[in-house]
Amino acid sequence: MNKQQKEQVEHWLANAEYNCAYENLHSWLKDNPDDADLNYSLASTCDPQGKEKEAYPYYEKAIKLGLGNEDLKGAYLGLGSTYRTLGMYEESKATFEAGLAKFPTHYALKVFYAMTLYNLKEYEQAMALLLTCLTETTKDEEILAYQKAISFYSGRLNEVWD
């Protein structure tokens, strides 16, 4: 994707002009089907329109073709989330795990991964992950006052002390 196309897509997405972005991206992809940025942008345009079934192959292709780090983070998040909303929980879990292997401190990936863990009935792991994200990112003084306790209990949610 050239600079002008990228700016135009950013404008359309920022202004919720999804149909315009969608139509133009489809047209541009006909001439450049192996452009990772075009594939990622089209996937990102499909999602807010409720076209998740159409979005995920474009996310997959964009990741396979190679993206810069910021877009790659977004592609992992978008693909994992799209899989989750389609009920493809195992695919979602694998996608988030691959994304977190590359970006282990990306908290949005962790939060969306926790949602998938919830869908897979891995409640304890999901809750522990969310609590860890909370204690590592919050600026809320009342939560910070209990940061050690929350961190301690996050991995012991099913333990009972006598």
Read off the pLDDT band of 97 (50, 70, 90).
very high
Domains along the sequence of the chain with CATH = 3-103 (1.25.40.10)
Q: State the DSSP H helix or E strand holding residue 76, giving kind and residue range, or none if neither.
A: helix 69-85
Q: How far is CA 41 from CA 3, 71, 117, 123, in A?
A: 13, 9, 27, 33
Q: What is the model's pLDDT at position 159?
A: 87
Average pLDDT in the 85-97 region?
98
Average pLDDT in the 106-121 region?
97
Read off the pLDDT band of 42 (50, 70, 90).
very high
Asked if pLDDT for residue 162 goes beyond 80, the answer is: no
Q: What is the model's pLDDT at position 25?
A: 93
Q: How far apart are alpha carbons 121 and 143 in whole angstroms?
A: 27
Read off the pLDDT band of 158 (50, 70, 90).
confident
Q: How far apart are alpha carbons 99 and 109 in whole angstroms?
A: 7
Q: What is the model's pLDDT at position 14?
A: 87
